[in-house]
Amino acid sequence: MIRVVFNQKGGVGKSSIACNLAAIGAAEGRRTLVVDLDPQGNSTHYLLGRAAAELKDTVADLLEQTVAFTMFTRRADEFVHASPYENLFVLPASPELEFLERKLEAKHKIYKLREALRKLGENFDDIYIDTAPSFNFYARSALIAADRCLIPFDCDDFSRHALYNILSEIRDLQEDHNENLVVEGVVANQFQARASLPRQLVRELTEEGLPMLPVRLSSSVKMKESHQVNKPLIHYAPRHALTRQYVDLYRLLRGESVELEPLL
């Protein structure tokens, strides 16, 4: 299964969601890969404890093979890095992604990521793709490569209007490039259950027929602590309420039953 976590808006928790869902799957014994397509490399740093700029053999190096003349093309799995956590691996980002984007776009290499991930999928049970906050070449490549799309939503009115645009753009891409892509749903992140506005927005979007997921992820300093120590929540604070919400979200996406809290 290849899942992309996507939203054009920054600060909605794409990296946190991709990495923590991946870490839960890996902890349950599923061989899992995180692909970091954001030049900032937040997922890379979170899971490997090193900045993307310090690393060799990155996703940029993998994709550059498709536009550079070389006698020897390396296999996609040669660019995969093991994390400190069993079953959890990373195809790291690189600042070079920004410079490479124009080359890839000019050479019409929009399907190359899909080809690489299909090959990597032979060795992994699940692949999670983290994207930059932009509907750029890499985001489109990820949506073309993916089987499923998860959209984080941070419960404010600006995000609401951005959400309509995102769903429209995804529909266009489905029609033109990937008719098998399934939008799994919109997950409310940094949700404040005691505040009226987040509850109101989620309720209204649900009534409008948008695919709002019934599991909501709370706002908690525990996530920032987790980032600081480069340790996903399932390893850093396995009994914390936010960790349990992530586990519920993981199980929901896997089609398992979960006990849901009502939206008051």
Contact 132, 6 (CB under 8 A): no
Average pLDDT, stretch 223-228?
96
pLDDT tens digits, 41-51: 999 999 999 99
pLDDT tens figures, 80-138: 999 999 999 999 999 999 999 999 988 889 999 999 999 999 999 999 999 999 899 99
**Residue 53 included in any domain:** yes
Q: Which two tokens stand for residue 186?
A: 């919109």
The answer to the question of residue 258 being in a domain is no
Residue 241 lies in a domain: yes
The two three-digit tokens of residue 195, written as one number: 């505040």
Query: Considering the domain boundaries, does residue 121 fall inside one?
Result: yes
pLDDT-above-70 percentage for the chain: 97
Q: Give residue-wise pLDDT tens across range 3-20.
A: 999 998 888 899 999 999
Q: Is the pLDDT assigned to residue 67 strictly greater than 60?
A: yes
Pairing of strands 32-36, 126-130: parallel
Q: Does 43 fall in a domain?
A: yes
pLDDT confidence bin for 156, thresholds 50/70/90: confident
Domain contains 120: yes
Q: What percent of the chain has pLDDT over 90?
A: 75
Tell me what the mean pLDDT of segment 169-193 comes to.
92
Q: What is the structure's pLDDT at 68?
A: 72
Does residue 105 fall inside a structural domain?
Answer: yes
The domain that holds 59 is classified in CATH as 3.40.50.300
Domain that holds residue 201: 2-253
Residue recorded with tokens 């489109």 = 140
Residues 24, 28, 34, CA angle at the centre, nearest 5°? 45
142 in a structural domain: yes
Whether the predicted pLDDT of 263 surpasses 70: no
Range list of H helices, 146-195: 157-176
Q: Helix axis angle, 241-253 relative to 221-228, nearest 10°? A: 90
Report the number of distinct structural domains present in the chain.
1
